[in-house]
């Protein structure tokens, strides 16, 4: 039995459009479940406490990045596996786990492996994988140039120059300070067992091939203009901010890897 926590608002209310298909797939794969609707993401921890049973196989987050993050935050320190059924195309974690489509995500609940993913922390907020810090102007310009090439042709989306970057101060482990104009920063968990190091990629130029790579246990970022801290497409904080790598893990439900037979491996 799985406890499903469903955000009905995620993905432009996609759950209402796929609910019947979800019931059919769960029945097809023999997955037992209980549906609980999330009325407020701030209540996710309370909903888990009220509804999770000791015999449940795990908690399944049905929604977008914010829903998944809320479930992970509520279960930090608990030995409870987390499954994901994405309701939006921008659910980066689900996609990285091979859960792009609804049938694959539900099949993974019936035939699954467990993967331990290391956690990072922004203030009181935990995350898996990576986060990005970027000036809103840079994000908007990149988005417009990518989605509407006519704006570039008409000269309405001007090229981003190094001078357009935001003056930023980066402090590594309270020891090293880096001052730069930043277009964006990407902070990744290295993923090495028992290693708290973060990998910070600083893009001081709009050219994605030009970057500086730094490593530290913690990163403090200040900027002249408040820059959003983004996970997937969700803003979870703003600069100034401190980001830490931890040795805490969350167990994620992932599709079972195919096992090679003796004939296939020979």
Q: Domains for the chain: give ranges and CATH numbers.
A: 2-110 (3.40.50.10330), 128-248 (2.60.200.40)
CB 251 within 8 A of CB 82: yes
DSSP conformation class of 48: H
194: left (phi over 0), alpha (psi -120 to 50) or beta: left
pLDDT tens for each residue of the chain, 266 residues long: 999 999 999 989 999 999 999 999 999 999 999 999 999 999 999 999 999 999 999 999 999 888 998 999 999 888 899 999 999 877 778 887 888 889 999 999 999 999 888 888 888 788 888 889 987 655 544 544 455 555 455 454 455 454 567 899 999 998 889 998 888 899 988 755 556 789 999 988 767 667 788 889 999 999 988 999 987 667 888 999 999 988 888 999 999 876 544 444 44
User: Directed axis angle between helix 44-51 and helix 65-75, to 10°?
Assistant: 60
- Rounded Cα distance, 41 and 46, in Å: 10
Give how far Cα 265 sits from Cα of 135, 166, 189, 261, Å: 49, 53, 33, 6
Which residue from 109, 112, 111 is spatially nearest to 2, judged by alpha carbons?
Answer: 109
CB 251 within 8 A of CB 114: yes
- Rounded Cα distance, 165 and 30, in Å: 53
Does an H or E element contain 28, and which? helix 10-28
- What phi, psi does 121 have (nearest 5°)? -140, 135
């Amino acid at each position: 039995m799985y406890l499903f926590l469903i955000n009905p608002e995620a993905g432009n209310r996609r759950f209402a459009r796929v609910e019947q298909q979800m019931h059919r797939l769960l029945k097809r794969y023999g997955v037992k479940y209980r549906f609980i609707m999330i009325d407020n993401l701030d209540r996710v921890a309370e909903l888990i406490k009220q509804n999770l049973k000791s015999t449940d196989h795990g908690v399944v987050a049905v929604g977008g990045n914010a829903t998944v993050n809320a479930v992970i935050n509520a279960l930090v320190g608990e030995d409870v596996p987390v499954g994901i059924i994405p309701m939006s195309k921008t659910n980066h974690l689900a996609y990285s786990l091979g859960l792009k489509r609804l049938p694959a995500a539900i099949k993974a609940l019936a035939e699954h492996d467990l993967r331990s993913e290391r956690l990072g922390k922004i203030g009181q907020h935990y995350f898996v994988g990576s986060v990005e810090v970027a000036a809103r102007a840079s994000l908007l310009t990149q988005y417009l140039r990518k989605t509407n090439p006519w704006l570039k042709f008409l000269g309405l989306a001007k090229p981003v120059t190094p001078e357009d970057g935001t003056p930023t101060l980066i402090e590594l482990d309270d020891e090293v300070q880096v001052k730069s104009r930043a277009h964006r920063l990407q902070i990744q968990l290295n993923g090495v067992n028992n290693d708290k190091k973060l990998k910070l990629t600083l893009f001081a130029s709009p050219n994605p091939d030009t970057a500086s790579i730094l490593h530290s246990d913690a990163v403090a970022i200040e900027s002249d203009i408040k820059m959003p801290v983004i996970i997937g497409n969700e803003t979870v904080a703003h600069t100034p901010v401190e980001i830490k790598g931890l040795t805490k893990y969350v167990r994620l439900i992932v599709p079972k890897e195919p096992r090679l037979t003796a004939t296939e491996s020979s």
